[in-house]
């Protein structure tokens, strides 16, 4: 469920749905989902590049995901509580309309391509 602001009921419902595993929370073109099997918070930035995704362009989009995560942790006690105990996993995905595909993810500030 998409939420553009953190101080309204839509955001609260989005966090609840994410916590229950019903729906991803989408904020600032970044998707958040709890993976209970791996105990990770999947932080998926949607790519803004449709051709020639490089390390440099991927880092731009991944940084947006990191910034959104840090913003929500700092500004929303509800979000921070919901993701407590889950390790963030930052990835870059391409939404091609009928689904998404992971392009790469971060490990120790290094990009790992799929």
pLDDT tens for 56-105 read 999 999 999 999 999 999 999 999 999 999 999 999 999 888 888 999 99
As for how many domains the chain has, the answer is 1
pLDDT of residue 17: 97
CB atoms within 10 A of CB 82: 20
User: If 0-12 CB within 10 Å is exposed, 13-18 middle and 19+ buried, where does residue 101 land?
Assistant: exposed
pLDDT at 52 (0 to 100): 86
What pLDDT score was predicted for residue 51?
Answer: 81
Query: Which pLDDT does position 102 carry in this prediction?
Result: 96
**C-alpha distances out from residue 97 to 2, 3, 7, 26, 46, Å:** 16, 20, 29, 16, 12
Rounded CA separation 91/106 (Å): 6
pLDDT band at 7 (very low <50, low <70, confident <90, very high): confident
Q: Does some domain include residue 60? A: yes
Q: What is the pLDDT of residues 24-70, one digit of tens each?
A: 999 999 999 999 999 999 999 999 987 889 999 999 999 999 999 99
Residue 114's CB is within 10 A of a number of other CB atoms, namely: 10
3: in domain: no
Q: Quick check: is 18 in a domain?
A: yes
- Rounded to the nearest 10 degrees, how much is the dihedral formed by the CA atoms of 18, 114, 73, 16? 0
pLDDT > 90? residue 4: no
Domain that includes residue 100, residue range: 9-113
Q: Is residue 2 part of a domain?
A: no
């Amino acid at each position: 469920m998409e939420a553009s602001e953190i101080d309204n009921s839509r955001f609260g419902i989005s966090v609840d749905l994410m916590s229950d595993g019903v729906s991803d929370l989408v904020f600032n073109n970044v998707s958040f989902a709890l993976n209970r099997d791996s105990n990770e918070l999947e932080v998926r930035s949607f790519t803004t590049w449709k051709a020639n995704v490089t390390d440099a362009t991927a880092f731009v989009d991944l940084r947006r995901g990191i910034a959104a995560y840090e913003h929500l942790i700092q500004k929303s006690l509800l979000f921070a509580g919901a993701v407590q105990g889950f390790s963030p996993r930052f990835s870059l995905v391409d939404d091609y309309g009928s689904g998404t595909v992971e392009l790469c993810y971060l490990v120790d500030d290094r990009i790992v391509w799929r």
